[in-house]
Structure 1
């Protein structure tokens, strides 16, 4: 490994390391605009100039200069500083300097570097150039006169998002960043362009002119719009969430965030349930908490344990699920289910419902079989990780199920489960691809686990894993990709039918026939409400969605930004949200509602604080104990033998932008649905 000296400090680094990277290892910061550690090197902003000896008597771009043995680098020499000041002067020649009205003000890399290398006046007397704004879609606002042509956005769209729709036209002062054909950028990761832009050329359209960064309270939290569990930062002012941004987590989301997770937050302030309601004379009427609880007590008294049931929704937190389970069990009911899509998942076999390799494990895989899933819509950040692995080379991807345009090259094997059976018995050529791979991987989606033949498909997938050497002591490539943030936590809690209890299908059948006359919906909005028959329905949730419309009693709960709550992502990692703002009106954190209700129903739960609830969680499963390392799930047989349905496998998501009560209440997501799903790409006004 070559040794070099940077600002008097000697360092030994791997061959191929750039001078800029080596300087960062020493804690020496070199200014840059175009360089980004997750993108290819462009070397076109020239802000990272340094003095290098031996070498030509001129500054060199450190981002594109590989280290060499015996090299001496000076990052703060008079030559380097003068060169950077010159670069900054050139950058500001055509920049509009409209910082007071720029949404990037206070978070702008150009502002920060201008403090160190800028000048207090300009020597440029000619007129500044002006560039027409471009239409990038309903999410990203453009002010292209501010653009400094760093090409970060172009490289991200091409390399990470996999939608090569951005590029540069013209040369020199006439160069412009634009889409080749003016239309919205067709990516579920387009919001990351805003984070990457070092100036105010690309900004968050939904957040425009709402606040300045120093006015915001920043809360570290977790995303719950899919099962990846991306780490996020919630920016709020007063009682309102204004924007959501990604946090760095190399194991889960790196530094990316999906568009729905970023932009659907305007749905947090629309169609909210902010007080209890009780249905009287066929109409929902506002009520007090006492009246709502009394109505539930009366309904429970008129029922019996065998006729009561509870269903948990896709955004339910583990605290509320464990208390609701304890309450229902205490009342004698065994009919519980957290699988509101009816997915066949065995709660006693954790390896059969986890993304066992881990999301970061995708980087190690050398072959992949996707079954019944569209990861581009079900988990965009995870899909970007698959593309990252594909670009590294030596990675074949086979697809069984929906034939969709993923962002990497795939081999389409077939539409139905019979193709999976052929791979399982070794008669399909892709079986050899998996067998010859050192670390093969399989992703099984909810589209394959919500069918009548799901048990057989699960068994076939397990056979593929066994026959291809996918599971060993060092590696488990059998992965289930969930679409619901609450699903793994619900299974770990045991929010599933007890002895002689009913699952989702049994609950719906029983409610339709009258055998079930009391149903508690914990944020469950994705079930067919018409199948609840004449049952007395309690809905606890944050939004007036399908469940609230059917309910006889509504208990207003908190959204994920309004509570300290626990979730387990698709790979089985326990993470927690943090309270950023308080729930509106009379709404309360979900576990406190269930705890208060238990008093009225005559089965008082023992937990009086969040800490006690989390202690209860830890007794249910070690997954929820922060002090106990969780061992990898043990691999064992899963599924059942049987015949497969000839119907093609499909993805459960038909509209990525509207999958839950929050996104369905979002105006931004409604506009995205019109543009991307309904195909109405029309430009309206300067910024779209």
Structure 2
């Protein structure tokens, strides 16, 4: 540890940290543009100048290591003059766009120009003009504003793993862009907007829409993939205008996937905003009372079942479970993709190392999953671990996939999996030599006919290759959506018999609904489920309710209501509670707190304890015959990243992305 004095304050910091970090430890604010905590040090903006005793000139604190006994001054006349001079240079060519810039009000350049710059400029020459670059349908460029901090270049290369941005020319002619003009091929491109300290990179869908001080900001959780990304929903006049990530180092750090960030325009299209009932073969509008009466008549004396979809919150799920139980039914299902998940133990279907635990692992086996598509933020965490060094990765799946990091392709399918389970594959030696090896099994790999055998084989690999330890659980199942884990916790795995006569679909698409069955569809978007239904009940989307979600690692998180549902739509648990009155099976809770108390009663996972990674004390595996694994190749479970759920399929922005990145979507 080194003792450093900053403006008379002595702090003790680890050897090797930068002077900037030491200053922050002392509570001093150091301006910066190029420096970012999660990127490599560039040291090219020079805004972070400080004075060090006995140094002949100011030093760039972001790139200067501390030394024991060092004395640093952050507000001396030398420092003030140096920062003012740097700011003057940065503003030489920066246009006076503040009144029309989408970054206005939350711009680092604005804030630091006021705090650390001069109140006048000596330059009268004309400013240079730079052609705007095309980076795709999500990121808008106004390159006249660029100050060449290179944050975007470093993010694309280091975090996203797509080295497609860079600088061309030198000096005053330097420009940032793609070397050949094309859309960025990353599912994390929206993060470029967040890290740009000026208005050079902004959101194309959000362009000229609103000012930050006009927005009502609500903390919530993204459910369009299973990462559980912490988000902030910005809304105005009852409409979601943008979604941004919040920092949570244990889950998403400060990154967010593009689908969760930009698909929100799908929340106002194709919405179900009033009840409907089928009369004479046609769906007609109805009142809530008429809809509930029709359900009571349609369900009377019939064998019932309930299916929960991929984007449903835990409160609605437990309410539907209780309603079915009160009606005498235990036919419950949530595996709408037919994934052969064994829910008898929680560690059979969760990401047991935790997302942050990826950084502790020293070997990885990926089975039938493409993390780059299924969970871009988790994939970025894997890449972060790869960049740190000494992290062998084995991959079973389609050959030639670009995961954004190097990996050892082991084979395409079941034959390789069986060899690993039998201990005869060369990669077994890599796993056995590791102290904390881990395995990621894609949920899509369990949707095959031999899904149960694949699950059992993956567990056997974990058990035989040092992954299941008392203080380390290296078996991980990667889900695809934010509503897939909670129903497993709540017992929606008993299945739907073929002779069911009444079916309640809660945000689920019909799969093999028996002919003549009476179908209730409850959800927020009308797709195949609504078209098949006899009664439609309009529910609320994830931005429109206070709700509990469980991510792929089993972490329980809560989202909050940002806007109200459209029309007559209501929160899902409230709809089920109201329906229970007319169905003669009144549920015993009337408030959100009551539902959450019931959640904790049904499953200990909802009792409020913080998530902690755990070990494995029982190596008994899930049901399934390892010998039954077929030789068939694993195929991608998400063919179209941009339109993988009902919200993104309704989004015009995601449709444009699909046309841009998927040639077949443009045909």
Structure 1 length normalisation: TM-score? 0.94
Q: Counterpart in 1 of 2:119?
A: 120
1:308, CA displacement in angstroms?
1.4
Q: Counterpart in 2 of 1:541?
A: 523
Is 1:328 aligned to residue 327 of structure 2? no
Q: Counterpart in 2 of 1:24?
A: 24
The answer to whether the 8 Å contact 1:622/1:628 transfers is no
- Distance in 1 between residues matched to 2:112 and 2:267, nearest whole Å: 36
Is 1:383 aligned to residue 379 of structure 2? yes
SS state of the match for residue 438, structure 2? strand
Quick check: 643-652 or 570-579, which moved more? 643-652
1:628, CA displacement in angstroms?
7.9
Q: CA 1:276–1:681 in structure 2 vs 1: closer, same or farther (change >3 Å)?
A: closer
Q: Counterpart in 2 of 1:13?
A: 13
- Distance in 2 between residues matched to 1:109 and 1:444, nearest whole Å: 41
Is 1:606 aligned to residue 588 of structure 2? yes
- Distance in 1 between residues matched to 2:423 and 2:101, nearest whole Å: 60
Deviations 1:570-616 (A, max 9, x none): 11110011000111110000000000000000111101111000000
Q: Counterpart in 2 of 1:33?
A: 33
1:200, CA displacement in angstroms?
0.3
Q: CA 1:410–1:141 in structure 2 vs 1: closer, same or farther (change >3 Å)?
A: same
- Distance in 2 between residues matched to 1:5 and 1:334, nearest whole Å: 67
- Distance in 2 between residues matched to 1:475 and 1:295, nearest whole Å: 52
The answer to whether the 8 Å contact 2:554/2:611 transfers is no
1:630, CA displacement in angstroms?
7.5
1:681, CA displacement in angstroms?
9.8
Is 1:647 aligned to residue 632 of structure 2? yes
1:639, CA displacement in angstroms?
3.0
1:20, CA displacement in angstroms?
0.3
Is 1:552 aligned to residue 530 of structure 2? no
Is 1:460 aligned to residue 457 of structure 2? yes
The answer to whether the 8 Å contact 1:562/1:582 transfers is yes
1:547, CA displacement in angstroms?
1.1
Q: Counterpart in 2 of 1:132?
A: 131
1:394, CA displacement in angstroms?
0.5
Deviations 1:507-566 (A, max 9, x none): 4xx2xxxx22211110013x54x6443322111001112211221111000000000011
CA RMSD of aligned residues (A): 1.5
- Name which of 360, 363, 383 aligns with 1:364: 360
- Distance in 1 between residues matched to 2:666 and 2:450, nearest whole Å: 39
Q: Counterpart in 2 of 1:144?
A: 143
SS state of the match for residue 657, structure 1? helix
Quick check: 1-10 or 105-114, which moved more? 1-10
1:71, CA displacement in angstroms?
1.3
Q: CA 1:318–1:634 in structure 2 vs 1: closer, same or farther (change >3 Å)?
A: farther
1:282, CA displacement in angstroms?
1.8
- Distance in 2 between residues matched to 1:276 and 1:681, nearest whole Å: 35
Is 1:273 aligned to residue 277 of structure 2? no
The answer to whether the 8 Å contact 1:96/1:146 transfers is yes
The answer to whether the 8 Å contact 1:183/1:681 transfers is no
Deviations 1:252-306 (A, max 9, x none): 00000000000000101111111101111222111100111111111011x42xx
SS state of the match for residue 341, structure 1? coil
- Name which of 409, 425, 443 aligns with 2:406: 409
- Distance in 2 between residues matched to 1:548 and 1:587, nearest whole Å: 14
Deviations 1:291-327 (A, max 9, x none): 11111111011x42xx311110001111111111111
Q: Counterpart in 1 of 2:507?
A: 523
- Distance in 2 between residues matched to 1:183 and 1:671, nearest whole Å: 15
- Distance in 1 between residues matched to 2:477 and 2:407, nearest whole Å: 19
**Structure 2: which 5+ residue stretches go unaligned?**
none
Q: Counterpart in 2 of 1:657?
A: 642
Quick check: 7-16 or 426-435, which moved more? 7-16
The answer to whether the 8 Å contact 2:365/2:395 transfers is yes
- Distance in 2 between residues matched to 1:610 and 1:337, nearest whole Å: 24
SS state of the match for residue 27, structure 1? coil
Quick check: 622-631 or 576-585, which moved more? 622-631
The answer to whether the 8 Å contact 1:239/1:581 transfers is yes
Q: Counterpart in 2 of 1:99?
A: 98
Is 1:53 aligned to residue 53 of structure 2? yes
Q: CA 1:681–1:289 in structure 2 vs 1: closer, same or farther (change >3 Å)?
A: closer
- Distance in 2 between residues matched to 1:551 and 1:629, nearest whole Å: 39
- Distance in 1 between residues matched to 2:50 and 2:364, nearest whole Å: 43
The answer to whether the 8 Å contact 1:53/1:73 transfers is yes
Is 1:615 aligned to residue 597 of structure 2? yes
1:484, CA displacement in angstroms?
2.3
Q: Counterpart in 1 of 2:484?
A: 487
1:619, CA displacement in angstroms?
0.5
**Structure 1: which 5+ residue stretches go unaligned?**
498-502, 683-688
Q: CA 1:519–1:680 in structure 2 vs 1: closer, same or farther (change >3 Å)?
A: closer
SS state of the match for residue 278, structure 1? strand
- Distance in 1 between residues matched to 2:464 and 2:631, nearest whole Å: 23
The answer to whether the 8 Å contact 1:223/1:230 transfers is yes
Deviations 1:417-452 (A, max 9, x none): 110111122211100000000100000011221111
Deviations 1:439-490 (A, max 9, x none): 0000001122111111211111111111111111110110000112112111
SS state of the match for residue 297, structure 2? helix
Deviations 1:155-201 (A, max 9, x none): 00000000000000011110000101100000000000000000000
- Distance in 1 between residues matched to 2:178 and 2:612, nearest whole Å: 47
Q: How many residues align?
A: 663
Q: CA 1:399–1:630 in structure 2 vs 1: closer, same or farther (change >3 Å)?
A: closer
Q: Counterpart in 1 of 2:555?
A: 573
Q: Counterpart in 1 of 2:565?
A: 583
Q: Counterpart in 2 of 1:288?
A: 287
1:163-562 aligned at under 5 Å gives the runs 163-301=162-300, 303-304=301-302, 307-403=303-399, 404-497=401-494, 503=495, 506-507=496-497, 510=498, 515-525=499-509, 527-528=510-511, 531-562=513-544
Quick check: 587-596 or 8-17, which moved more? 8-17
Structure 2 length normalisation: TM-score? 0.97
- Distance in 2 between residues matched to 1:146 and 1:160, nearest whole Å: 24
1:330, CA displacement in angstroms?
1.4
- Distance in 2 between residues matched to 1:675 and 1:551, nearest whole Å: 34
- Distance in 1 between residues matched to 2:78 and 2:211, nearest whole Å: 37
Quick check: 415-424 or 375-384, which moved more? 415-424
1:118, CA displacement in angstroms?
2.6
SS state of the match for residue 469, structure 2? coil
Deviations 1:20-42 (A, max 9, x none): 01111121110000000000000
- Distance in 1 between residues matched to 2:27 and 2:323, nearest whole Å: 54
SS state of the match for residue 359, structure 2? helix
SS state of the match for residue 628, structure 2? coil
Q: Counterpart in 1 of 2:662?
A: 677
Q: CA 1:378–1:532 in structure 2 vs 1: closer, same or farther (change >3 Å)?
A: farther
SS state of the match for residue 232, structure 1? strand
The answer to whether the 8 Å contact 1:315/1:485 transfers is yes
SS state of the match for residue 614, structure 1? helix
- Distance in 1 between residues matched to 2:610 and 2:4, nearest whole Å: 44
The answer to whether the 8 Å contact 2:333/2:492 transfers is yes
